[in-house]
Amino acid sequence: MKIIEGGICAAKGFTAGGIHCGIRKNKDKRDLSLIYSAVRASAAATYTTNLVKGAPLIVTKEHISDGYAQAVICNSGNANTCNANGIEIAEQMSSILSKALCIDEKDIVVASTGVIGEPLDIKPISDGIPALIDSLSEDGSSEAAEGIMTTDTVKKEVAVEFEIGGKTCRIGGIAKGSGMIHPDMATMLVFITTDAAIAPAMLQKALSGDIKNTFNMVSVDGDTSTNDMVTVLANGMAGNEMITADGENFAVFMKALNTVTMNLCRKIAGDGEGATKLLECKVSGAKDEQTAKTVAKSVICSSLLKAAMFGADANWGRVLCAIGYSKADVDVNKIDVSFRSAKGEIPVCVEGAGIEFSEEFAKEILLEKEIEILIELKSGEAQATAWGCDLTYEYVKINGDYRT
């Protein structure tokens, strides 16, 4: 299994593109993206648990209820959420695109991202469909990734190549996510494509199982978005034997999917709004997996800890504090904590108590762009990892006038 170029277009039969259609005022920013499979594909998705859901999610869930899709259309600049005619607009996006592509409108995944509660005009989207289809290309992953960005500062895409039953398969993904990142199912918007042949039920099983250890373990600011969705399309054009049950082939597919989602998790967390550092909290020695996850997520979500990391302050007490209020069943008198980065590693807490350490060396470690927070609970064999970022002045600036 290896990382390759191509993003969502790495898999056979997939093309993508992105254009500026006029939703955004800035004409230099793409605001409409399209992913297209040459053949109908197995489809799976997970959606936000927020009770307030964007209209596109409701439409998409109904569209792919049969387990199949062939295209994904997504606009940025407007979330199409809390709009009286939101469902109608989302359905119109599908209808117009389906006619242009000559496919069933039920085979279209619809997504939107941006400001909540603003009316979304269908005209720029409708007018832009011909140009959007013309933009489709086997090299179009980057353009599609750009078209779904909001406050993101970098495009997020990755792809891997692997083998199933002697057949070369590929899986790739793009994502957007920078703020309102604290999912309970999936996160932000993530679109994944693969040419592996896998039945819809097994594809859904793979995705639902994977997000528990990947996207559900990411947090930037503690806010669960209304438009969070992860979708996977698998068109089977790699020619492997259809995966219809658990077994070696399914395990290989799961590993490939996890490689893509793990990479996207790191990219999302590292590009948190205003962030200067990627934080990775690794918990080991937990009595069970749920305890490890609870501890890791609590630490990565701590605003005080995130602020300390921004200031390169080795304030390990904030780690213990976050563990303490997590309600995880741990023995606080056994906990060890260390900080690690490219500069090295420094223990700061042993068995729940502070130890002497060099503040100067600790600062060197915490000034790096990627920081690991290592927690050993000494109560078992389970482990978990969570991803987040530091909390900076810039985060407040971005969200202080996000709408206006």
E strand or H helix at 300: helix 289-301
- Give the span between the Cα atoms of 215 and 46, in whole angstroms: 11
- Give the span between the Cα atoms of 377 and 360, in whole angstroms: 26
Judge whether 187 counts as a catalytic residue: yes
- Give the span between the Cα atoms of 25 and 19, in whole angstroms: 13
- Give the span between the Cα atoms of 282 and 146, in whole angstroms: 31
The phi-psi region of residue 299 (left if phi > 0; otherwise alpha if psi is between -120 and 50; otherwise beta) is alpha
Degrees, nearest 5: CA angle 5-213-148:
45
E strand or H helix at 189: strand 189-194
- Give the span between the Cα atoms of 86 and 54, in whole angstroms: 8
- Give the span between the Cα atoms of 158 and 142, in whole angstroms: 10
Q: Is 156 exposed, middle or buried (0-12, 13-18, 19+ CB in 10 A)?
A: buried
114 beta partners? 77
Options 15, 81, 150, 187, the catalytic residue: 187
User: Is the separation of the CB atoms in 365 and 339 below 8 Å?
Assistant: yes
**DSSP character at residue 325:** T
Please report the DSSP string for 18-70 in residue order: EE--SSSS-TTS--EEEEEEEEEEEEEEEE---SS--HHHHHHHHHGGGSEEE
User: Is the separation of the CB atoms in 179 and 272 below 8 Å?
Assistant: yes
Nearby residues of 65 by Cβ (< 8 Å), 6 or more positions away: none
- Give the span between the Cα atoms of 138 and 190, in whole angstroms: 19
**Beta strands in 220-343, from DSSP E residues, in sequence order:** 229-234, 278-286, 336-341
Residue the block writes with tokens 């959606």: 47
Active site residues: 187
